[in-house]
Amino acid sequence: MRLTDPEKSLVFGRTALRLSKKTNYINGSAESHRILGIGYYYLGKNDRAISNYLTALASFKETRNLTGQAKVYNNIGNLYKEVNYEKALEYFQKALTIATKLDAPDIVAGHYLNIGIINYRTKDYELALKHTKKSYEIFLKLDNPTGVTLALQNTGVIYNKLNQHKKAEKILLEAYARAKEANLNSTIASINLTLVAIYMKFKNYSKADQYLKEGTRYAIIGKDTKLQSDYLKRAYELERKRKDYKQALLYLQKLYTQDSLELQTTISKKFGLFEEQSKFQAREKESAIKLEKAKTNRVVFTASIAISILAVLIIIILFLNVQKKAKTNHQLKILNEEISVQKENLDTVNQNLEKIIDERTRDLQIKNRKLSEYSSHLSHQIRGPVATMKGLMILEQENLIEDEEFIKEIGKCVNEVDDRIININDVLHNLSESGLIPRVVDKETKS
Protein backbone atom coordinates (compact mmCIF):
# COMPACT_ATOMS: atom_id res chain seq x y z
CA MET A 1 0.00 0.00 0.00
CA ARG A 2 2.93 2.38 0.55
CA LEU A 3 3.24 3.05 -3.20
CA THR A 4 -0.49 3.34 -3.91
CA ASP A 5 -2.12 4.78 -0.77
CA PRO A 6 0.22 5.41 2.21
CA GLU A 7 -2.71 6.49 4.42
CA LYS A 8 -4.07 2.94 4.19
CA SER A 9 -0.66 1.72 5.36
CA LEU A 10 -1.29 3.71 8.55
CA VAL A 11 -4.76 2.17 8.96
CA PHE A 12 -3.40 -1.39 8.71
CA GLY A 13 -0.41 -0.51 10.90
CA ARG A 14 -2.63 0.79 13.72
CA THR A 15 -4.90 -2.26 13.50
CA ALA A 16 -1.88 -4.59 13.66
CA LEU A 17 -0.45 -2.69 16.63
CA ARG A 18 -3.73 -2.94 18.53
CA LEU A 19 -3.95 -6.71 17.94
CA SER A 20 -0.26 -7.24 18.81
CA LYS A 21 -0.58 -5.41 22.12
CA LYS A 22 -3.75 -7.32 22.95
CA THR A 23 -1.94 -10.65 22.46
CA ASN A 24 1.37 -9.39 23.94
CA TYR A 25 3.10 -10.18 20.61
CA ILE A 26 6.35 -8.17 20.85
CA ASN A 27 7.60 -8.86 17.30
CA GLY A 28 4.13 -8.00 15.98
CA SER A 29 4.16 -4.68 17.84
CA ALA A 30 7.63 -3.94 16.48
CA GLU A 31 6.59 -4.69 12.88
CA SER A 32 3.43 -2.58 13.35
CA HIS A 33 5.54 0.41 14.41
CA ARG A 34 7.78 -0.18 11.37
CA ILE A 35 4.75 -0.15 9.04
CA LEU A 36 3.47 3.05 10.69
CA GLY A 37 6.90 4.59 10.13
CA ILE A 38 6.74 3.68 6.42
CA GLY A 39 3.28 5.23 6.10
CA TYR A 40 4.42 8.48 7.71
CA TYR A 41 7.60 8.51 5.56
CA TYR A 42 5.59 8.37 2.32
CA LEU A 43 3.35 11.16 3.64
CA GLY A 44 6.43 13.31 4.36
CA LYS A 45 6.07 13.22 8.18
CA ASN A 46 9.68 12.32 8.97
CA ASP A 47 9.58 13.10 12.71
CA ARG A 48 6.72 10.64 13.29
CA ALA A 49 8.38 8.12 10.98
CA ILE A 50 11.68 8.11 12.90
CA SER A 51 9.84 7.85 16.22
CA ASN A 52 8.05 4.66 15.09
CA TYR A 53 11.20 3.21 13.48
CA LEU A 54 13.24 3.66 16.67
CA THR A 55 10.48 2.09 18.77
CA ALA A 56 10.42 -0.87 16.36
CA LEU A 57 14.21 -1.19 16.47
CA ALA A 58 14.25 -1.29 20.28
CA SER A 59 11.64 -4.09 20.30
CA PHE A 60 13.46 -6.11 17.60
CA LYS A 61 16.69 -5.81 19.62
CA GLU A 62 14.83 -7.00 22.70
CA THR A 63 13.66 -10.17 20.89
CA ARG A 64 16.99 -10.47 18.99
CA ASN A 65 15.11 -10.40 15.68
CA LEU A 66 17.88 -9.70 13.16
CA THR A 67 15.53 -9.69 10.14
CA GLY A 68 13.42 -6.98 11.75
CA GLN A 69 16.54 -4.98 12.68
CA ALA A 70 17.83 -5.13 9.08
CA LYS A 71 14.50 -3.84 7.74
CA VAL A 72 14.36 -0.96 10.22
CA TYR A 73 17.96 0.08 9.49
CA ASN A 74 16.99 0.19 5.82
CA ASN A 75 13.91 2.31 6.62
CA ILE A 76 15.95 4.77 8.72
CA GLY A 77 18.48 4.98 5.87
CA ASN A 78 15.64 5.98 3.53
CA LEU A 79 14.77 8.85 5.90
CA TYR A 80 18.34 10.13 6.01
CA LYS A 81 18.96 9.88 2.26
CA GLU A 82 17.03 13.17 1.85
CA VAL A 83 19.09 15.11 4.41
CA ASN A 84 22.40 13.34 5.13
CA TYR A 85 23.96 10.94 2.59
CA GLU A 86 26.75 9.81 4.92
CA LYS A 87 24.29 8.91 7.67
CA ALA A 88 21.98 7.16 5.20
CA LEU A 89 24.86 5.07 3.84
CA GLU A 90 25.84 4.13 7.40
CA TYR A 91 22.37 2.68 8.08
CA PHE A 92 22.17 0.94 4.67
CA GLN A 93 25.54 -0.73 5.31
CA LYS A 94 24.34 -1.92 8.74
CA ALA A 95 21.24 -3.40 7.13
CA LEU A 96 23.22 -5.02 4.31
CA THR A 97 25.66 -6.65 6.76
CA ILE A 98 22.81 -8.26 8.73
CA ALA A 99 20.85 -9.28 5.61
CA THR A 100 23.94 -10.91 4.04
CA LYS A 101 24.59 -12.81 7.27
CA LEU A 102 20.96 -14.03 7.33
CA ASP A 103 21.07 -14.95 3.61
CA ALA A 104 17.88 -12.94 2.96
CA PRO A 105 18.05 -12.07 -0.77
CA ASP A 106 14.90 -9.89 -0.83
CA ILE A 107 16.30 -7.64 1.90
CA VAL A 108 19.76 -7.61 0.28
CA ALA A 109 18.22 -6.53 -3.05
CA GLY A 110 16.39 -3.64 -1.38
CA HIS A 111 19.59 -2.46 0.29
CA TYR A 112 21.57 -2.55 -2.97
CA LEU A 113 18.80 -0.47 -4.57
CA ASN A 114 19.02 2.17 -1.82
CA ILE A 115 22.82 2.24 -1.81
CA GLY A 116 22.62 2.82 -5.58
CA ILE A 117 20.42 5.86 -4.94
CA ILE A 118 23.04 7.31 -2.57
CA ASN A 119 25.77 6.66 -5.17
CA TYR A 120 23.64 8.49 -7.78
CA ARG A 121 23.08 11.50 -5.52
CA THR A 122 26.79 11.71 -4.73
CA LYS A 123 27.42 11.61 -8.55
CA ASP A 124 29.20 8.24 -8.54
CA TYR A 125 27.12 7.01 -11.49
CA GLU A 126 29.19 3.93 -12.35
CA LEU A 127 28.91 2.61 -8.80
CA ALA A 128 25.21 3.52 -8.80
CA LEU A 129 24.70 1.39 -11.95
CA LYS A 130 26.64 -1.49 -10.41
CA HIS A 131 24.52 -1.60 -7.22
CA THR A 132 21.23 -1.05 -9.09
CA LYS A 133 22.06 -3.89 -11.50
CA LYS A 134 22.74 -6.22 -8.56
CA SER A 135 19.38 -5.26 -7.07
CA TYR A 136 17.58 -5.82 -10.41
CA GLU A 137 19.10 -9.30 -10.88
CA ILE A 138 18.07 -10.45 -7.39
CA PHE A 139 14.52 -9.04 -7.69
CA LEU A 140 14.16 -10.69 -11.11
CA LYS A 141 15.29 -14.04 -9.71
CA LEU A 142 12.83 -13.70 -6.80
CA ASP A 143 10.03 -12.71 -9.23
CA ASN A 144 9.39 -9.51 -7.21
CA PRO A 145 7.50 -7.21 -9.67
CA THR A 146 7.64 -4.08 -7.48
CA GLY A 147 11.37 -4.47 -6.88
CA VAL A 148 12.03 -5.06 -10.59
CA THR A 149 10.01 -1.93 -11.49
CA LEU A 150 11.92 0.27 -9.02
CA ALA A 151 15.29 -1.10 -10.17
CA LEU A 152 14.39 -0.42 -13.83
CA GLN A 153 13.27 3.11 -12.95
CA ASN A 154 16.52 3.90 -11.13
CA THR A 155 18.58 2.42 -13.99
CA GLY A 156 16.75 4.64 -16.50
CA VAL A 157 17.35 7.73 -14.36
CA ILE A 158 21.10 6.97 -14.18
CA TYR A 159 21.41 6.47 -17.97
CA ASN A 160 19.56 9.74 -18.52
CA LYS A 161 22.11 11.48 -16.29
CA LEU A 162 24.87 9.86 -18.37
CA ASN A 163 23.25 11.41 -21.51
CA GLN A 164 22.35 7.99 -22.92
CA HIS A 165 18.80 9.20 -23.54
CA LYS A 166 17.62 6.53 -25.99
CA LYS A 167 18.68 3.74 -23.64
CA ALA A 168 17.12 5.57 -20.70
CA GLU A 169 13.83 6.01 -22.61
CA LYS A 170 13.61 2.28 -23.44
CA ILE A 171 14.24 1.19 -19.83
CA LEU A 172 11.88 3.79 -18.35
CA LEU A 173 9.05 2.84 -20.70
CA GLU A 174 9.38 -0.77 -19.52
CA ALA A 175 9.31 0.42 -15.91
CA TYR A 176 6.30 2.63 -16.74
CA ALA A 177 4.35 -0.33 -18.18
CA ARG A 178 5.10 -2.47 -15.11
CA ALA A 179 4.15 0.36 -12.72
CA LYS A 180 0.87 0.89 -14.59
CA GLU A 181 0.07 -2.81 -14.34
CA ALA A 182 0.66 -2.79 -10.57
CA ASN A 183 -1.07 0.63 -10.00
CA LEU A 184 2.05 2.08 -8.36
CA ASN A 185 0.96 5.74 -8.32
CA SER A 186 4.09 7.30 -6.81
CA THR A 187 6.37 5.25 -9.04
CA ILE A 188 4.46 6.26 -12.20
CA ALA A 189 4.77 9.93 -11.18
CA SER A 190 8.56 9.56 -10.65
CA ILE A 191 9.09 7.73 -13.95
CA ASN A 192 7.08 10.31 -15.90
CA LEU A 193 9.20 13.15 -14.49
CA THR A 194 12.32 11.68 -16.12
CA LEU A 195 10.46 10.83 -19.35
CA VAL A 196 9.35 14.48 -19.65
CA ALA A 197 13.01 15.58 -19.43
CA ILE A 198 14.02 13.03 -22.09
CA TYR A 199 11.30 14.06 -24.56
CA MET A 200 12.22 17.70 -24.03
CA LYS A 201 15.78 16.82 -25.10
CA PHE A 202 14.29 15.07 -28.16
CA LYS A 203 12.21 18.26 -28.79
CA ASN A 204 9.10 16.07 -28.78
CA TYR A 205 7.10 18.62 -26.80
CA SER A 206 3.71 17.00 -27.34
CA LYS A 207 4.89 13.74 -25.72
CA ALA A 208 6.62 15.67 -22.96
CA ASP A 209 3.35 17.53 -22.26
CA GLN A 210 1.40 14.24 -22.24
CA TYR A 211 3.65 12.61 -19.62
CA LEU A 212 3.86 15.86 -17.62
CA LYS A 213 0.09 16.11 -17.22
CA GLU A 214 -0.27 12.44 -16.29
CA GLY A 215 2.66 12.56 -13.85
CA THR A 216 1.29 15.68 -12.15
CA ARG A 217 -2.04 13.92 -11.67
CA TYR A 218 -0.39 10.89 -10.07
CA ALA A 219 1.78 13.10 -7.82
CA ILE A 220 -1.39 14.80 -6.55
CA ILE A 221 -3.11 11.42 -6.02
CA GLY A 222 -0.08 10.21 -4.04
CA LYS A 223 -0.02 13.48 -2.03
CA ASP A 224 3.70 13.84 -2.80
CA THR A 225 4.38 17.58 -2.41
CA LYS A 226 8.03 17.30 -3.48
CA LEU A 227 7.05 15.59 -6.75
CA GLN A 228 4.37 18.22 -7.34
CA SER A 229 7.02 20.93 -6.95
CA ASP A 230 9.35 19.05 -9.34
CA TYR A 231 6.55 18.92 -11.92
CA LEU A 232 6.04 22.69 -11.61
CA LYS A 233 9.72 23.18 -12.39
CA ARG A 234 9.51 20.77 -15.34
CA ALA A 235 6.40 22.60 -16.66
CA TYR A 236 8.28 25.91 -16.50
CA GLU A 237 11.21 24.40 -18.45
CA LEU A 238 8.85 22.95 -21.07
CA GLU A 239 7.10 26.29 -21.68
CA ARG A 240 10.46 28.03 -22.00
CA LYS A 241 11.49 25.47 -24.62
CA ARG A 242 8.22 26.08 -26.47
CA LYS A 243 8.82 29.88 -26.13
CA ASP A 244 5.50 30.42 -24.38
CA TYR A 245 7.09 32.96 -22.05
CA LYS A 246 3.83 34.14 -20.54
CA GLN A 247 2.92 30.63 -19.36
CA ALA A 248 6.52 30.01 -18.30
CA LEU A 249 6.38 33.14 -16.14
CA LEU A 250 3.21 31.90 -14.42
CA TYR A 251 4.93 28.61 -13.55
CA LEU A 252 7.99 30.53 -12.39
CA GLN A 253 5.88 32.64 -10.02
CA LYS A 254 4.33 29.48 -8.54
CA LEU A 255 7.80 27.97 -8.15
CA TYR A 256 9.11 31.03 -6.28
CA THR A 257 6.10 30.88 -3.96
CA GLN A 258 6.64 27.18 -3.25
CA ASP A 259 10.42 27.53 -2.99
CA SER A 260 10.30 29.17 0.45
CA LEU A 261 7.67 26.76 1.74
CA GLU A 262 9.65 23.76 0.48
CA LEU A 263 12.84 25.03 2.12
CA GLN A 264 11.08 25.55 5.45
CA THR A 265 9.50 22.06 5.20
CA THR A 266 12.88 20.46 4.42
CA ILE A 267 14.54 22.28 7.32
CA SER A 268 11.67 21.28 9.61
CA LYS A 269 11.94 17.63 8.52
CA LYS A 270 15.68 17.61 9.04
CA PHE A 271 15.46 19.24 12.46
CA GLY A 272 12.56 16.97 13.49
CA LEU A 273 14.52 13.90 12.41
CA PHE A 274 17.56 14.74 14.50
CA GLU A 275 15.45 15.96 17.41
CA GLU A 276 13.40 12.74 17.58
CA GLN A 277 16.52 10.57 17.36
CA SER A 278 18.21 12.61 20.08
CA LYS A 279 15.13 12.26 22.30
CA PHE A 280 15.12 8.50 21.74
CA GLN A 281 18.84 8.24 22.57
CA ALA A 282 18.25 10.30 25.71
CA ARG A 283 15.42 7.94 26.72
CA GLU A 284 17.71 4.95 26.13
CA LYS A 285 20.37 6.51 28.34
CA GLU A 286 17.78 7.21 31.08
CA SER A 287 16.66 3.58 30.86
CA ALA A 288 20.27 2.47 31.19
CA ILE A 289 20.63 4.67 34.28
CA LYS A 290 17.47 3.17 35.82
CA LEU A 291 18.70 -0.36 35.08
CA GLU A 292 22.03 0.42 36.72
CA LYS A 293 20.24 1.84 39.75
CA ALA A 294 17.95 -1.18 39.95
CA LYS A 295 20.95 -3.49 39.67
CA THR A 296 22.68 -1.58 42.46
CA ASN A 297 19.59 -1.82 44.67
CA ARG A 298 19.40 -5.57 44.10
CA VAL A 299 23.04 -5.86 45.13
CA VAL A 300 22.34 -3.84 48.30
CA PHE A 301 19.31 -6.02 49.11
CA THR A 302 21.34 -9.21 48.58
CA ALA A 303 24.09 -7.80 50.74
CA SER A 304 21.61 -7.07 53.54
CA ILE A 305 20.34 -10.66 53.50
CA ALA A 306 23.89 -11.96 53.40
CA ILE A 307 24.79 -9.81 56.43
CA SER A 308 21.99 -11.36 58.47
CA ILE A 309 23.13 -14.87 57.53
CA LEU A 310 26.90 -14.63 57.51
CA ALA A 311 28.37 -11.81 59.57
CA VAL A 312 31.81 -12.86 58.49
CA LEU A 313 31.08 -11.81 54.88
CA ILE A 314 29.87 -8.27 55.76
CA ILE A 315 33.19 -6.56 55.12
CA ILE A 316 33.73 -8.35 51.80
CA ILE A 317 30.19 -7.62 50.57
CA LEU A 318 30.40 -3.93 51.57
CA PHE A 319 33.72 -3.59 49.78
CA LEU A 320 32.28 -5.09 46.58
CA ASN A 321 29.23 -2.87 46.86
CA VAL A 322 31.31 0.31 47.19
CA GLN A 323 33.29 -0.72 44.11
CA LYS A 324 30.12 -1.30 42.12
CA LYS A 325 28.64 2.05 43.21
CA ALA A 326 31.81 3.84 42.17
CA LYS A 327 31.66 2.19 38.76
CA THR A 328 27.97 3.09 38.43
CA ASN A 329 28.60 6.72 39.39
CA HIS A 330 31.38 6.90 36.83
CA GLN A 331 29.04 5.54 34.14
CA LEU A 332 26.34 8.02 35.19
CA LYS A 333 28.83 10.86 34.90
CA ILE A 334 29.81 9.76 31.37
CA LEU A 335 26.15 9.48 30.37
CA ASN A 336 25.37 12.98 31.72
CA GLU A 337 28.35 14.43 29.84
CA GLU A 338 27.13 12.82 26.60
CA ILE A 339 23.66 14.31 27.12
CA SER A 340 25.21 17.78 27.65
CA VAL A 341 27.25 17.42 24.42
CA GLN A 342 24.12 16.43 22.50
CA LYS A 343 22.27 19.50 23.85
CA GLU A 344 25.13 21.75 22.70
CA ASN A 345 25.03 20.10 19.25
CA LEU A 346 21.28 20.74 18.99
CA ASP A 347 21.81 24.43 19.88
CA THR A 348 24.47 24.69 17.15
CA VAL A 349 22.17 23.04 14.59
CA ASN A 350 19.37 25.48 15.54
CA GLN A 351 21.65 28.51 15.04
CA ASN A 352 22.80 27.23 11.63
CA LEU A 353 19.20 26.69 10.55
CA GLU A 354 18.29 30.28 11.48
CA LYS A 355 21.18 31.56 9.33
CA ILE A 356 20.03 29.44 6.37
CA ILE A 357 16.45 30.77 6.70
CA ASP A 358 17.70 34.40 6.82
CA GLU A 359 19.82 33.91 3.69
CA ARG A 360 16.96 32.25 1.84
CA THR A 361 14.58 35.09 2.82
CA ARG A 362 17.01 37.67 1.37
CA ASP A 363 17.23 35.69 -1.88
CA LEU A 364 13.44 35.57 -2.16
CA GLN A 365 13.17 39.33 -1.56
CA ILE A 366 15.59 39.96 -4.44
CA LYS A 367 13.65 37.58 -6.70
CA ASN A 368 10.30 39.22 -5.85
CA ARG A 369 11.72 42.70 -6.58
CA LYS A 370 13.04 41.52 -9.94
CA LEU A 371 9.69 39.98 -10.84
CA SER A 372 8.04 43.35 -10.11
CA GLU A 373 10.62 45.10 -12.34
CA TYR A 374 10.03 42.47 -15.06
CA SER A 375 6.32 43.42 -15.46
CA SER A 376 6.94 47.15 -15.93
CA HIS A 377 10.18 46.73 -17.88
CA LEU A 378 8.67 44.22 -20.33
CA SER A 379 5.99 46.65 -21.55
CA HIS A 380 8.57 49.48 -22.08
CA GLN A 381 11.15 47.28 -23.81
CA ILE A 382 8.76 45.48 -26.15
CA ARG A 383 6.48 48.47 -27.03
CA GLY A 384 9.09 50.15 -29.30
CA PRO A 385 9.80 47.18 -31.63
CA VAL A 386 6.11 46.26 -31.72
CA ALA A 387 5.17 49.85 -32.75
CA THR A 388 7.81 49.68 -35.50
CA MET A 389 6.35 46.39 -36.75
CA LYS A 390 2.86 47.92 -36.84
CA GLY A 391 4.20 50.81 -38.93
CA LEU A 392 5.88 48.38 -41.34
CA MET A 393 2.63 46.43 -41.69
CA ILE A 394 0.79 49.65 -42.66
CA LEU A 395 3.48 50.47 -45.26
CA GLU A 396 3.20 46.92 -46.65
CA GLN A 397 -0.59 47.12 -46.87
CA GLU A 398 -0.33 50.41 -48.81
CA ASN A 399 2.48 49.00 -51.04
CA LEU A 400 4.83 51.79 -49.87
CA ILE A 401 7.72 49.41 -49.10
CA GLU A 402 9.53 46.75 -51.06
CA ASP A 403 9.04 43.11 -49.95
CA GLU A 404 12.76 42.57 -49.42
CA GLU A 405 13.07 45.73 -47.33
CA PHE A 406 9.91 44.83 -45.40
CA ILE A 407 11.25 41.33 -44.49
CA LYS A 408 14.62 42.80 -43.49
CA GLU A 409 13.09 45.42 -41.20
CA ILE A 410 10.64 42.96 -39.67
CA GLY A 411 13.60 40.63 -38.97
CA LYS A 412 15.39 43.41 -37.15
CA CYS A 413 12.34 44.07 -34.96
CA VAL A 414 11.95 40.37 -34.12
CA ASN A 415 15.67 40.09 -33.23
CA GLU A 416 15.37 43.16 -31.02
CA VAL A 417 12.34 41.71 -29.17
CA ASP A 418 14.14 38.38 -28.74
CA ASP A 419 17.33 40.05 -27.44
CA ARG A 420 15.40 42.09 -24.89
CA ILE A 421 13.42 39.08 -23.63
CA ILE A 422 16.63 37.04 -23.29
CA ASN A 423 18.30 39.92 -21.45
CA ILE A 424 15.39 40.24 -19.01
CA ASN A 425 15.39 36.48 -18.45
CA ASP A 426 19.19 36.47 -17.81
CA VAL A 427 18.92 39.25 -15.25
CA LEU A 428 16.00 37.54 -13.49
CA HIS A 429 18.14 34.43 -13.01
CA ASN A 430 21.24 36.32 -11.92
CA LEU A 431 20.94 37.50 -8.29
CA SER A 432 24.16 39.52 -8.61
CA GLU A 433 22.49 41.96 -11.05
CA SER A 434 20.87 44.89 -9.26
CA GLY A 435 18.20 45.61 -11.89
CA LEU A 436 17.03 45.14 -15.48
CA ILE A 437 19.40 46.71 -18.05
CA PRO A 438 18.57 46.81 -21.79
CA ARG A 439 20.65 44.33 -23.84
CA VAL A 440 23.21 45.97 -26.15
CA VAL A 441 22.56 45.04 -29.79
CA ASP A 442 25.12 45.17 -32.63
CA LYS A 443 25.69 48.23 -34.78
CA GLU A 444 24.04 46.76 -37.89
CA THR A 445 20.80 46.13 -35.98
CA LYS A 446 20.89 49.65 -34.47
CA SER A 447 21.31 51.27 -37.87
Q: Report the pLDDT value the prediction gives residue 446, as an integer from 0 to 100.
A: 40
Confidence class of residue 439 from pLDDT cuts 50, 70 and 90? Answer: very low
* pLDDT surpassing 50 at residue 101: yes
**Tell me: the pLDDT tens digits for 76-95?**
998 888 788 888 889 988 98
With H, G, I as helix, E, B as strand and everything else as coil, classify residue 308: helix
**Domain ranges in the chain?**
6-248, 275-446
Query: How far apart, in whole angstroms, are the C-alpha atoms of residue 262 and residue 400?
Result: 58
* pLDDT surpassing 70 at residue 229: yes
**Tell me: the pLDDT tens digits for 26-73?**
999 999 999 999 999 888 888 899 999 999 999 999 999 999 999 999
Confidence class of residue 447 from pLDDT cuts 50, 70 and 90? Answer: very low
Q: What is the percent of the chain where pLDDT is above 90?
A: 40
Long-range (24+ apart) CB contacts under 8 A made by 414-421 are: 414/385, 415/441, 415/445, 416/384, 416/385, 416/441, 416/445, 417/382, 417/385, 417/386, 420/381, 420/382, 420/385, 421/245, 421/378, 421/382
Contact 197, 160 (CB under 8 A): yes
CATH class of the domain defined by 6-248? mainly alpha
**Tell me: the pLDDT tens digits for 138-188?**
999 999 999 999 999 999 999 999 999 999 999 999 999 999 999 888 899
Query: How far apart, in whole angstroms, are the C-alpha atoms of residue 199 and residue 196?
Result: 5
